[in-house]
Amino acid sequence: MMGILWNLGAFLLALGILIAVHEYGHFWVARRCGVFVERFSIGFGKPLWRKVGKGGTEYTLAMIPLGGYVKMLDERIEAVPAEKRHQAFNNKALWQRSAIVAAGPLANFLFAIFAYWVVYLIGVPAVRPVIGEVAPHSIAAQAGLSDGMELKSISGIKTADWESVNMAMISHIGDEQMVLTAVAPGTEYEVRRTLDLTLWSFDPEKERVLTTLGITPYSPPITLVISQLVDNGAAITAGLQLNDEIISIDGTSITDWQQVVDAVRSHPLQALVIEVLRDSERVALTLTPNAKSLGDGEVIGYAGFAPKVEPWPESYRIVQQYGPFEAVVKAADKTWQLVTLTFDMVTKLVTGDVAIKNLSGPISIAKGAGMTADYGMVYFLGFLALISVNLGIVNLLPLPILDGGHLLFFAIEAVTRRPVSERVQDIGYRVGSAILVVLMAIALFNDFTRL
């Protein structure tokens, strides 16, 4: 229950910040263009708090926190006194109206740059993208990648850490090839490798992009020594203790932690004889893993213990931290990568290269907000930047109910030299609303299937 409340709180905080940023973009430019703003609202429905500013604008915090709006003086909506007609949105020049509408998404992009700027000022720890293992006969192996190589760039995008690698690789869904550069162990020379993606199959819901290409990132060795035990878990019930070293399970010698994982997962509610080394003595215990049902109906066992992992070598650790000016450049570059990646994903969603089941809704966003808030301010800011970019791009889609739809009407007006008729706009709003409702319904359905 506490986890749900934490996720909800983090989600509302993130949503409130991003809505305020988006609507403030419209508000700020509208005021600069001489348009009178009647109301600036965060949320819809019944106001929980309101205040009228010196300029006459009413600032409102409403009950339903799933959006916001800026209500401007507009003769198309209600009658405007003659002395205020020059302050009405519809009476402004085309470029001013376009600037006001475009300012919302632009504010989201600028906020992403600001958030990443703060992240890079504080510094974010990461590890170099060094390949631990390349699966035989995989796409990566056929391209000539090998164990120990460090990935330097993908399609011209520098990859300083695994997050950058994942983002760059995901952007190639539906493409025929991927070009990357890497450095082999013990050398300083970059080599170019081309991955053939014509037979690449990737389901983001079930698979990791690296695994489907045959790449396993380097990670420190996992020992067979128990370092964590879950209270009231099956491991404690069996008598396992911290610092026990697992030697065998049901008479089979254990040399790798994955053997332990496989044995526990495949024996829900079935007794296993585990032999451990404790204070230089062999101790035999009986472990009966608990049962756990997965989303697809599969039942697996789990025991509630974790192994000791060797520390990362210092040579693999990096901290992405920069001075105030260099951080601006890095933040702008990171935001641009997110913008291009999101545009690519939207395009591939339309063309069918990305399945509609990969759409995410508010539940997934809430879970992401809660998880990143757990990790600290730096990660939460990175999450805000990611969602801010997505919000900006979604609002630029050419659906009449969104900012992109208004800009489409303005573009038509620029070409035809006359505004799009209200009848056509009304039809467009109805169609756009229907499409948006369908997409939201699909996103929510996808969210529920992931629970």
Out of 253, 278, 310, pick the residue that ends a domain. Answer: 310
Say whether both 226 and 280 belong to one domain: yes
Say whether both 168 and 271 belong to one domain: no
Question: Per the structure, how many domains does the chain have?
Answer: 2
Say whether both 207 and 226 belong to one domain: no
Residue identified by tokens 């706009």 is: 425
In a domain, 186, yes or no: yes
Say whether both 204 and 249 belong to one domain: no
Say whether both 278 and 207 belong to one domain: no
Say whether both 129 and 276 belong to one domain: no
Residue identified by tokens 């003769």 is: 75
Out of 320, 338, 362, pick the residue that ends a domain. Answer: 320
Out of 279, 299, 320, pick the residue that ends a domain. Answer: 320
Which residues of the chain register pLDDT less than 70? 1-11, 203-206, 295-296, 348-376, 433, 436-451
| Residue 251 backbone class (left: φ over 0; alpha: ψ -120 to 50; beta: rest) | left
| Backbone angles phi and psi of 90, in degrees to 5 | -70, -15
In a domain, 380, yes or no: no
pLDDT at 369: 43
Rounded Cα gap, residues 295 and 307, in angstroms? 26
Say whether both 207 and 237 belong to one domain: no
Say whether both 132 and 270 belong to one domain: no
Which residues sit opposite 60 in a β-bridge?
Answer: 41, 50
Say whether both 229 and 211 belong to one domain: no
Tokens standing for residue 344: 């690519």
According to DSSP, residue 161 is labeled S
Residue 152 near residue 159, CB atoms below 8 Å: yes
In a domain, 421, yes or no: no
Which residue intervals of 187-323 are DSSP H helices? 209-213, 234-238, 257-265
pLDDT at 115: 92
Q: Tell me which of 23, 190, 314, 422 is the catalytic residue.
A: 23
Tokens standing for residue 162: 């695994």
User: Could you tell me the residue range of the domain that residue 208 belongs to?
Assistant: 125-220+311-320
Say whether both 241 and 305 belong to one domain: yes
Residue 186 near residue 170, CB atoms below 8 Å: no
Say whether both 166 and 275 belong to one domain: no
Name the strands in the sheet holding 177-183, side by side, starting at the edge strand that comes first in the sequence. Answer: 157-158, 150-154, 177-183, 190-196
Say whether both 215 and 237 belong to one domain: no
In a domain, 427, yes or no: no
pLDDT at 76: 83
CA dihedral over 297, 303, 304, 308, signed as positive or negative: negative
Residue 305 near residue 145, CB atoms below 8 Å: no
In a domain, 268, yes or no: yes
What 251-255 contacts at long range (C-beta under 8 Å, 24+ apart), as own/partner pairs, is 254/224
Rounded Cα gap, residues 129 and 127, in angstroms? 6
Interacting residues of 425 by C-beta distance below 8 A, sequence separation 6+: 400, 409
Residue 245 annotated as catalytic:
no
2-32 helix and 377-395 helix, angle to the nearest 10 degrees: 50
Q: In the chain, helix, strand, coil percent, each to 5?
A: 45, 25, 30
pLDDT at 187: 84
Instruction: Count CB-CB contacts under 10 A for residue 208.
Output: 14
- DSSP of 171-185: TTTT-SEEEEEEE-T
C-alpha triplet 438, 442, 448: angle, nearest 5°? 145
In a domain, 184, yes or no: yes
In a domain, 304, yes or no: yes
Rounded Cα gap, residues 353 and 338, in angstroms? 19
- Residue 218 CA: distances (Å) to CA of 147, 150, 316: 9, 10, 9
324-351 helix and 94-122 helix, angle to the nearest 10 degrees: 120
In a domain, 85, yes or no: no
Which residue intervals of 123-187 are DSSP H helices? 139-143, 162-170
Which residues sit opposite 300 in a β-bridge?
Answer: 292
CATH number at 133 reads: 2.30.42.10
Rounded to the nearest 10°, the torsion over CA 42, 45, 48, 53 is: 50
